[in-house]
Amino acid sequence: MRLQALDDFIKKKIQEARRRITMVLLADYLLLGLTVGMGAAALIMVITLFVPVYYAPILAAASVVLGLITGFVITLVKRPDMRRSALLLDSRGFSERVITAYERAGKEDAFSMLLKQDTKEKMTGFRAKNAFPMKPVAKRLAVFCILAVVLCVSGLIDSPARKQARQNHAIAMEAKKEAEKLKDALEKIEKQEELSAQEQEELKELFEEAKKEFKEAQSSEELEKAKERLAKKIEQEMKELLAEDKKDTARALLDMAMEMNPDLSEEEKKQISEALNELSELSEDVKDALEQAKKDGLESLSEEELAELSAKLAEAAAKLTDEELAAALSKAASAMSAEDLESALAALSDAQGDMIAAALDGDGTMSLAGLGSGTGNGQGAGAGNGGSGQGTGAGSGTGAGDSSGGGWYNGGSQGSQSQETYEGDYVSVPENYQDNDNLTGTPTDGDSYIQEGGPSVTWDGIRMDYQKVIRDYQKRAYERMESGKYPVDYQDAIREYFENLNK
Amino acid sequence: MENQQELTEIIDKIHACEQEIGKAIIGQRDIVRQVMLAILADGNVLLEGVPGLGKTQLVKTISNVLSMKFSRVQFTPDLMPADVTGTNLIIKENDKNTFQFEPGPIFANIVLADEINRATPKTQSALLEAMQEKTVTVGKETYELPQPFMVLATQNPIENEGTYPLPEAQLDRFLFKLNVDFPTKEELKAIMDVTITNRTVELSAVMGGDEIIKMRTMIKDMPIADAVMDYALSIVVATHSELSEAPEVAKKYITAGASPRAAQAMIKTAKARALMEGRFNVAFEDIDFVAYPALRHRIISNFDALSEGISNDDIIREILEGIQPV
């Protein structure tokens, strides 16, 4: 009974000391962790007075928290066990009585009993609080206070670098938001069944490139430029898609463009969308008639037929809620009634172009002139010329024509083609594609382009779209810059060059 | 409970012994205590000091206080082993000549081997068996030495001519090597008061040999914490320069480290010291106290230590400072 009481007394005292030692260690290591964390935080805050880092306060707070956590973890690791606590207790003047008595727990021999009794006597009146006082190291405390002051002062200064950091962050956030929109649009586009795998891949590349540019944007100007570039590319893609009668994808792109246009209000977006829907529906109604007119020429239409077509357009215009569209259609109807198919088509195309431009650029300042006026000119020239001829040798000439069918919606693309002038080496082939001794080469069904030019026929080479060529060049140049093939000093100049080209 | 009472009495007697010895020996408190520790731990002591420091007086006083048989052998170069151990004499009994063993001066409880380094190695080694086995073999007979038995040897560190330094094996048999220092001026004055006047010091025997043997048995049961034991062993291990964990000082100055006997000596004497201090457990401070006398003759320093004036005590001090007990 006496043995048990002695053992319990010693164990209790060791536990008491252990708790106290743990508390002291905790306070000590927390202060140490806090001091180190604050040191790091102060360093971060001082550095960010000169270097723009938006997340500096968060980093500073994280370092302080990390310091505290580290202090806590170290305390847990270094928390003494009972034996260690007994030894530490002994170091307070008990001459290893406690550890020896603890190790002799349950032993009842003479030495053990005398030792335990002696230990109990020595420990009577022992207070762990007095033996292990919670006194912070003065030097550490002083360092802590100094760092706290430095941290507070450096945190309150609003330096130019901090302003810059905030601006950069705002840009980065915007870029991220835009990139998210691109991602959503890409998901929608991937669902478009009308696109071939290659077309989807091209769109993906376009978007990926745009996302990269957004991420790399260092200023709001650069971000704006990147957005502009994307708008141009989208415009180009839309033209191509419309030319290929892939209206769903074009619409998806347009929706995305509208979504990304910060200048458009929700109301405006809705209006544009509705107008485009109306226009789209209208196009289905009059498409066939216009197609026929375009195919046969206005001369083939009787006056009744022209009047009927004009009436259809006027009727459609009357149904439209969008004033601008209605005006455009009215103009088209008038032109039709005046037997001016060219102007009618131009007016229709203008209407759609305006809508797209409005979607891409809130104030409608983005030029999509090619989509409208180009259509008119191209169609005119194409319809006016024609015929066939046969000649010998190579020559140069101005060709204009409408080689592919399609409605008003692909007029832009045709217009831009029609304005191109081809000069240089190319061969002419007769319209009937028969073998000709005067010509070299063979006409193909691929990318070959057959151009008729008065008495002679020409066959030019593979034609590629200007924007696509530039885009490919730009992509290749950027890839080479990334792989370090171009000197760093020239990279800005290269970027600037392409940016200027895209303007 | 009976044992507890005995232990308490033993502690009292030890303190009484120290007080009694203190009457005749002025100063040298640590030396007296260390000799007492060696007695309680059943060990032999080598006292080193210049002549006239009271080494012989100390041994005589201890033997008087402990009421044990004391003998003194003055070691000289011509001293023979038989002069120490004893020899067989031809005795005529009943008209027959028979050999009879005549015990030498070693047959005592406390033997003072004065200036042990003056005897030849052959004679020195005669003590080996006695010190370790507590027996003496003469001819074909082995004789038990009286118990308790201990050898207290002295040697002069400055007179090296005509001396035979003790070999390491024999040094290792000594539990402690004590350096007897010159007394302080106050102590010297007190010595004069006792020795050059007609004042005589009356010493009384405090305890006898049987009690010493009993104490030795009891002290062996003294508990020692694992941490304290580890500390003592760490000190011994730290003297071995060939070990990778040896401290820099050992690697630099020690040629050969302490033997396992050193660890035994430290722990045994630390237990005795704890009891003398009135404790029932061994503390780190006990180990520190006995480390110097237990190790200083067991480590062999190299020429670097000699040339730099580094003593074995300096090396031990640095080793102790390098080992944190807690």
pLDDT in tens, A373-408: 333 333 333 333 333 333 333 333 333 333 333 333
Statement: residue B224 has pLDDT above 90: yes
Q: Are residues B171 and B78 in the same domain?
A: yes
Amino acid A301: pLDDT: 66
Which tokens in the block code for residue A441?
């080469």
Amino acid A236: pLDDT: 75
Q: ipTM beyond 0.90?
A: no
Amino acid A375: pLDDT: 32
Q: Is the Cβ–Cβ distance between B110 and B153 less than 8 Å?
A: no
Q: What percent of chain B has pLDDT over 70?
A: 98
| Lowest-confidence region among A24-28, A400-404, B93-97 | A400-404
- What confidence tier does B165 reach under pLDDT thresholds 50, 70, 90? confident
Q: Are residues B74 and B29 in the same domain?
A: yes
Bridge partners of residue A459, in order along the sequence = A427, A450
Statement: residue B56 has pLDDT above 90: no
Q: Are residues B29 and B170 in the same domain?
A: yes
Q: What is the mean pLDDT of chain A?
A: 71
Q: Are residues B204 and B260 in the same domain?
A: no
Angle between helices A82-90 and A2-47 (to 10 degrees): 90
Q: With 0-12 CB in 10 A as exposed, 13-18 as middle and 19+ as buried, what is A72?
A: middle
Task: Find the mean pLDDT for residues A228-252.
Answer: 74
- The three-state secondary structure class of B159 is coil
Domain end residue (candidates: B212, B239, B266): B212
Chain A residue with the nearest C-alpha to that of B280: A115
- DSSP letters spanning B43-107: -EEEEE--TTSSHHHHHHHHHHHTT--EEEEE--TT--HHHHHEEEEEEEETTEEEEEEEE-TTS
**CB–CB of B221 and A91 under 8 A?**
no
State the Cα–Cα distance between residues A115 and A118, nearest whole angstrom.
5
Domain end residue (candidates: B178, B212, B246): B212
Q: Are residues B113 and B54 in the same domain?
A: yes
In-domain check, residue B175: yes
Residue A182's nearest CA partner among A129, A229, A146, A248 is A229
In Å, how far from its chain's centre is CA B279? 22
- DSSP letters spanning B252-285: HHEEE---HHHHHHHHHHHHHHHHHTT-SS--HH
One-letter identity of residue A445: D
Write the residue in A83, A87, A114 that is nearest to B280 by C-beta. Answer: A114
State pLDDT tens for residues A292-339. 666 666 566 677 777 777 777 777 667 666 676 677 777 777 776 676
Task: Find the mean pLDDT for residues A458-472.
Answer: 61
In-domain check, residue B307: yes
Amino acid A456: pLDDT: 47
Residue B284 sits in a domain of what CATH number? Answer: 1.10.8.80
Size of interface A-B (CB pairs under 8 A): 63
Q: Are residues B197 and B255 in the same domain?
A: no
Q: Is the Cβ–Cβ distance between B73 and B111 less than 8 Å?
A: yes
In-domain check, residue B316: yes
Q: Are residues B174 and B263 in the same domain?
A: no
Residue B63 sits in a domain of what CATH number? Answer: 3.40.50.300
Of A464 and B229, which is predicted with more confidence? B229
- What confidence tier does A20 reach under pLDDT thresholds 50, 70, 90? very high
Statement: residue A449 has pLDDT above 70: no
**CB–CB of B326 and A91 under 8 A?**
yes
In-domain check, residue B37: yes
In-domain check, residue B271: yes
State the Cα–Cα distance between residues B118 and A125, nearest whole angstrom.
58
In-domain check, residue B217: no
**CB–CB of B281 and A100 under 8 A?**
yes
Task: Find the mean pLDDT for residues A241-248.
Answer: 70
**CB–CB of A87 and B285 under 8 A?**
no
- Rg of chain A taking only CA atoms, in angstroms: 41
Q: Is A97 on the interface with B (CB under 8 A)?
A: yes
Task: Find the mean pLDDT for residues A244-268.
Answer: 70
Range of the domain at B251: 223-322
Q: With 0-12 CB in 10 A as exposed, 13-18 as middle and 19+ as buried, what is B145?
A: buried
- What confidence tier does A252 reach under pLDDT thresholds 50, 70, 90? confident
Tell me which chain A residues have a C-beta less than 8 angstroms from the C-beta of B283: 90, 95-97
Tell me which chain A residues have a C-beta less than 8 angstroms from the C-beta of B281: 95-97, 100-101, 111, 115
State pLDDT tens for residues B234-289. 999 999 999 988 999 999 999 999 999 999 999 999 999 998 888 889 999 999 99
Amino acid A283: pLDDT: 58
| Lowest-confidence region among A24-38, A120-134, A270-284, B302-316 | A270-284
Q: Are residues B230 and B313 in the same domain?
A: yes
Task: Find the mean pLDDT for residues A77-105.
Answer: 91
Which tokens in the block code for residue A25?
């260690």
- What confidence tier does B95 reach under pLDDT thresholds 50, 70, 90? confident
Amino acid B2: pLDDT: 53
Amino acid B80: pLDDT: 92
Q: Are residues B117 and B155 in the same domain?
A: yes
Statement: residue B52 has pLDDT above 70: yes
Chain B residue with the nearest C-alpha to that of A97: B281
- What confidence tier does B106 reach under pLDDT thresholds 50, 70, 90? very high
| Lowest-confidence region among A340-344, A492-496, B113-117 | A340-344
Q: Are residues B228 and B208 in the same domain?
A: no
In-domain check, residue B218: no
Residue A96 Cα, gap to closest chain B Cα (Å): 5
In-domain check, residue B72: yes
Task: Find the mean pLDDT for residues B41-62.
Answer: 86
Which residue is associated with the tokens 């983005």?
Answer: A366
Domain end residue (candidates: B212, B233, B264): B212
Q: Are residues B231 and B194 in the same domain?
A: no
Q: Is the pTM of the predicted complex or chain greater than 0.90?
A: no
Counting the structural domains of chain B, the total is: 2
Residue A26's nearest CA partner among A87, A80, A93, A90 is A80
Q: Are residues B124 and B232 in the same domain?
A: no
